[in-house]
Chains A and B, each alone.
Chain A
Amino acid sequence: MRIGIFICHCGHNIKSTVDIEGLKGYFKGLNNIACVEDYPFMCSEPGQALIKSSIERFGLGRVIIAACTKALHQDMFKNLVRDAGLNPFLLRRVSIREHCSWTGEDIEKNTSKAIRLIRAGIYSSAHYEPLEEKQVEVNKSALILGGGISGMSAAAFLARAGIEVYLVEKEKELGGHVRHLEDVWPVRERGKDIIERMTEELKTLNNVHIFTSSRLVSFGGSFGNYEAVIENSGGEIKVIVGGVIVAIGFTAFDPSIKPELQYGIDKRVITTLEFEEKMHELPIKEGSRVAILHCIGSRDEIIGRPYCSRICCINAIKTGEAIKNRFKDSYVESFYMDVRSHPRGGEEFYEDTQEKGLLFTRANISEIIPEQGGLVLRGEDTLLGMPFEREFDLVVLSIGMSPPKDNQEIAGLLKITLDKDRFFLEAHPKLRPYDTALKGIFIAGTCSGPKDMEESINHGRASAVKLYGLLNLGYAFIEPFVAYVDPKRCSGCRMCEQACVAKAIKFDEGLHIVRVEEAACMGCGLCNATCPSSAIALKGYKDTIIDDEISALTEAV
């Protein structure tokens, strides 16, 4: 085997704290090393040319590039190796910048670590095999779960882009929570009007299939060819879709689990959602005293909701403003922890309402005591540090968002992880905020945590764009790092079948062994760890590769 090592200086990034000449000297002395080269920037054109010409000149069988992390330039280096006539899966990247030179100033220690890291690359890449990416056909269709504002936005984008859309909503009508809002801030429109405009648009598109009063009952398959069964009063409908967007929204917090607030017991205690619906029927008039309580069902560790729901401050301010607008001489007091008027324009709105006479008091409300004349709020003014009791005619609770009711069921069907607050967990909070563990399944809107309308719409559209990017070509390449079964070793005990998250392992009754459906396999390696016979392994990550890599890292230099 002929191995080529290419060490990058990355300007001064690596060179200043790693002894490059020392590295070169060490590796030149090892067996099977055909060449050891270094260059200030391997990613530059001359650097690339050096790698390419060395592969051709020495007839290299393995290429080891010791430079930055694999997360950078990987596709470029893969293509380079491929152009030079070598299978790109025989390339090994070793990170001696993020994992080594940037971690400390000690040249001796860094050089020793760089040697171990590169040596691990040599030992493991010796076991590499040429692999090919596989092409699978992809259905240009999408399933959208949840016909709220986020799901509808995603549906509209995908449908206009030419994707067949199946929009599933469990309620009788589309629109989710937004449909019930009387006054959407800051556009000052009725939620119903916004929803109906969007519904009309969806209805003009002939590739949108809307299923209301419907539920997803079963789900299987793999990216490009997911099989979903939708159930409604008309029976079961099976659809094949390329991908899925989950936008099942949230459940409004139910304040009755906090009995000290008297919600559900005294009719004079209502939520912001109820206020929106029956604003004009409320028993208030000029001179009425109204209290608005922030953070109900948010930032509350005791009831297991430590998060901020993000929308309730604006809702509380909006409620106060609506009362003040109708009854100029009413007394409206907001009791807050912090005012977090998140969206653009929120801060100005907060200022404006204060000028209109809305009072804000930083307080902890411990209980509401119903009396004949009114409701007595007992609490502590946290700025003055003084306890108080004040009487009101009406109390509006600004309620937060709770995880959607169906989260367990949907998470189970689609293999989505739940976070500690029981919302859906994205693959990465910064870099992959819409992705889930399975390819082509995205989450959108408030099911992955509290969001306001604008964010939910953006989230829906962003997921739609991500999904469109995957479906658009009509085919996809799947990574070759999938599990494979050694039929001679497999005992057919089916342990791996139980461990497989992607349901990619199928039992062959006739041969009494298991086999892997490559298109469905995510390459997570759970089956690998479960198999007692080591009959199942990941291509490119065989046990021997990992064993040798570990021993190379632990051996003395």
Chain B
Amino acid sequence: MKGKKLKNSHLDSLFDGFLKEEGSIILGFKRDGNAIGHHIFKGSAKDYSLINPFFSANGAIYFRRLFSKGAKLLFILRPCEIRAYVELTKLTQIEREGIVAISVDCPGTESEKEKTDRASLPEDIRDYFKGDNKKRWACINCREKRGVVGDAGIRLDRDYNMWIIPYTEKGERLIETLEGELTDIPIDMAISPDRQTDSFKTDMDALRSDLKRCVLCMNCRDMCPVCYCVDCVFNGDEYLPRGDALLNKVLRTGSTDMPQGKELFHLIRMYHVSQTCVGCGACEEACPQDIPLTKYFKGISERLQGIFSYMSGRGFDEAIPYTTFIEDELKDAED
């Protein structure tokens, strides 16, 4: 695989050149003192940061229903965010036209919920890969920390040199504008494809007791990057009856927990997102009750995607298993 060696100055000129054109914007991270967060850059990419070591939300939730209408967009985000973007394009919730998506090697993130002392944020992104900070469970068990998804990737080698590597024609066209020649990238990179994951075990008792804490605030749904419906079925009272309807239902069918229907809510959401879930853990991050949602959503969806040899967000051309029907699939599930 070929790529170009990258200096910070290269990136500055790439971003400035890109933003000069009318209607061009960049979605990435901005550093503001010791705070880093998602930011949309127009005109200038001053104070951009390639890495955000703190996770608050998956950036793809900001792209849902993005039909660029001629604007040119550059995404520079984490692999899990770019993967969610890829899934949303397959579901026609985003038009790929006009968008170049670059994934950046991710050292893993800390939760924004943890009150970490941020006095010593390193100046250079390379230092994030060296430090040993307290990572989120989702990041420790991440399926893909490498910037290998989207149109191009920014990756670090063992000596912490930055490389930019094109994966699609769009990526190639963008990288053409950078100075330097395409050369073979080193085989050993700072982040290797190996990963260690806690294997997911079905435990209905644990699930039941975890979900007991749910207050049905639906933050997990609202912050999920691949939960894309414009109007969720749980917005009406079809599934979650209130008032008289609830009273009628209880009189007819018997007593119930409150809030009612929370298991159903999570199971239906699981059914809807399990093939597109990227395991970013945004749901857990949004949960005020600290329910370990990532464990369930990431664990179950990875197992399910494995059955179909599918990985959400890996490629633009890989169809979501829901949307395809192959007569001879799932033979081992028949018995």
CB of B303 within 8 A of chain A?
A: no
A493 CB contacts on chain B under 8 angstroms: 91-93, 228
CB of B232 within 8 A of chain A?
A: yes
- The closest CB in chain B to the CB of A533 belongs to B229
CB of A57 within 8 A of chain B?
A: no
CB of A488 within 8 A of chain B?
A: yes
A544 CB contacts on chain B under 8 angstroms: 238
**Residues 30-73 of chain B: 1 if any A CB is under 8 Å from the residue's CB, otherwise 0?**
00000000000000000000000000000000000101000000
Q: Is the CB of B229 within 8 A of A491?
A: yes
- The closest CB in chain A to the CB of B272 belongs to A532
Q: Is the CB of A551 within 8 A of B252?
A: yes
Q: Is the CB of A533 within 8 A of B67?
A: no
CB of B323 within 8 A of chain A?
A: yes
B92 CB contacts on chain A under 8 angstroms: 492-494, 507, 512
**Residues 231-248 of chain B: 1 if any A CB is under 8 Å from the residue's CB, otherwise 0?**
111000010000000000
A492 CB contacts on chain B under 8 angstroms: 92-93
State the CA gap A494–B252 with chains docked (Å): 38
B138 to A: closest C-beta gap in Å: 23
Q: Is the CB of A489 within 8 A of B231?
A: yes
CB of B253 within 8 A of chain A?
A: yes
CB-CB under 8 A for A555 and B253, given A491-B228, A491-B229, A495-B91: yes
State the CA gap A494–B229 with chains docked (Å): 12
CB of A178 within 8 A of chain B?
A: no
State the CA gap A533–B252 with chains docked (Å): 27
**Residues 517-552 of chain A: 1 if any B CB is under 8 Å from the residue's CB, otherwise 0?**
000000000000010111100000001100100010
Which one, A507, A512, A530, A555, contacts B252 given CB within 8 A? A555
CB-CB under 8 A for A490 and B322, given A512-B92, A534-B238, A551-B252: no
**Residues 295-335 of chain B: 1 if any A CB is under 8 Å from the residue's CB, otherwise 0?**
00000000000000000000000000011110000000000
Q: Is the CB of A491 within 8 A of B252?
A: no
CB-CB under 8 A for A495 and B231, given A544-B238, A551-B252, A555-B252: no
Q: Is the CB of B323 within 8 A of A495?
A: yes
- The closest CB in chain A to the CB of B227 belongs to A532
A489 CB contacts on chain B under 8 angstroms: 229-231
State the CA gap A180–B232 with chains docked (Å): 64
**Residues 8-20 of chain B: 1 if any A CB is under 8 Å from the residue's CB, otherwise 0?**
0000000000000
Q: Is the CB of B231 within 8 A of A533?
A: yes
B232 CB contacts on chain A under 8 angstroms: 533
Q: Is the CB of A490 within 8 A of B230?
A: yes
Which positions 39-87 of chain A face chain B at CB distance < 8 Å?
Answer: none
**Residues 206-236 of chain B: 1 if any A CB is under 8 Å from the residue's CB, otherwise 0?**
0000000000000000000000111111000
Which one, B228, B229, B231, B323, contacts A498 given CB within 8 A? B323
A551 CB contacts on chain B under 8 angstroms: 249, 252-253
B15 to A: closest C-beta gap in Å: 31
A494 CB contacts on chain B under 8 angstroms: 91-92, 323
- The closest CB in chain A to the CB of B91 belongs to A493
Q: Is the CB of A543 within 8 A of B238?
A: yes
B323 CB contacts on chain A under 8 angstroms: 494-495, 498-499
**Residues 388-420 of chain A: 1 if any B CB is under 8 Å from the residue's CB, otherwise 0?**
000000000000000000000000000000000
- The closest CB in chain B to the CB of A492 belongs to B92
State the CA gap A507–B229 with chains docked (Å): 16
Q: Is the CB of A535 within 8 A of B91?
A: no
A407 to B: closest C-beta gap in Å: 13
State the CA gap A180–B92 with chains docked (Å): 55
A554 to B: closest C-beta gap in Å: 8
B230 CB contacts on chain A under 8 angstroms: 488-491, 533
State the CA gap A491–B227 with chains docked (Å): 11
B65 CB contacts on chain A under 8 angstroms: 491
Which positions 183-221 of chain A face chain B at CB distance < 8 Å?
Answer: none
State the CA gap A532–B232 with chains docked (Å): 8
B67 CB contacts on chain A under 8 angstroms: 512
State the CA gap A277–B280 with chains docked (Å): 71
State the CA gap A524–B228 with chains docked (Å): 25
Q: Is the CB of B233 within 8 A of A533?
A: yes
State the CA gap A488–B249 with chains docked (Å): 28
- The closest CB in chain A to the CB of B233 belongs to A534
B93 CB contacts on chain A under 8 angstroms: 491-493
- The closest CB in chain B to the CB of A555 belongs to B252
State the CA gap A511–B238 with chains docked (Å): 26
B234 to A: closest C-beta gap in Å: 10
A533 to B: closest C-beta gap in Å: 4
B142 to A: closest C-beta gap in Å: 26
Q: Is the CB of B324 within 8 A of A498?
A: yes
State the CA gap A534–B322 with chains docked (Å): 16
A532 CB contacts on chain B under 8 angstroms: 229, 233, 272
Which positions 241-292 of chain A face chain B at CB distance < 8 Å?
Answer: none
A533 CB contacts on chain B under 8 angstroms: 229-233
State the CA gap A519–B303 with chains docked (Å): 40
A554 CB contacts on chain B under 8 angstroms: 253
Which positions 300-324 of chain A face chain B at CB distance < 8 Å?
Answer: none
**Residues 481-502 of chain A: 1 if any B CB is under 8 Å from the residue's CB, otherwise 0?**
0000000111111110011000
A491 CB contacts on chain B under 8 angstroms: 65, 91, 93, 228-230
A530 CB contacts on chain B under 8 angstroms: 322
State the CA gap A22–B229 with chains docked (Å): 48
A66 to B: closest C-beta gap in Å: 21
A387 to B: closest C-beta gap in Å: 39
State the CA gap A492–B67 with chains docked (Å): 12
State the CA gap A489–B235 with chains docked (Å): 11
- Could you list 22 A-B pairs, sorted by A, with CB under 8 Å? A488-B231, A489-B231, A491-B65, A491-B91, A491-B93, A491-B230, A492-B92, A492-B93, A495-B91, A498-B323, A498-B324, A499-B323, A532-B229, A533-B231, A534-B233, A535-B229, A543-B238, A544-B238, A551-B249, A551-B253, A554-B253, A555-B252
Residues of B within 8 A of A (CB): 65, 67, 91-93, 228-233, 238, 249, 252-253, 272, 322-325
Residues of A within 8 A of B (CB): 488-495, 498-499, 507, 512, 530, 532-535, 543-544, 547, 551, 554-555
Q: Which 3 residue pairs are nearest across A and B when measured between Cβ atoms?
A: A533-B229, A498-B323, A493-B91
Q: Apart from A534-B233, A551-B249, what 7 extra A-B contacts exist at CB < 8 Å?
A: A493-B91, A495-B323, A498-B325, A507-B92, A533-B230, A535-B229, A554-B253
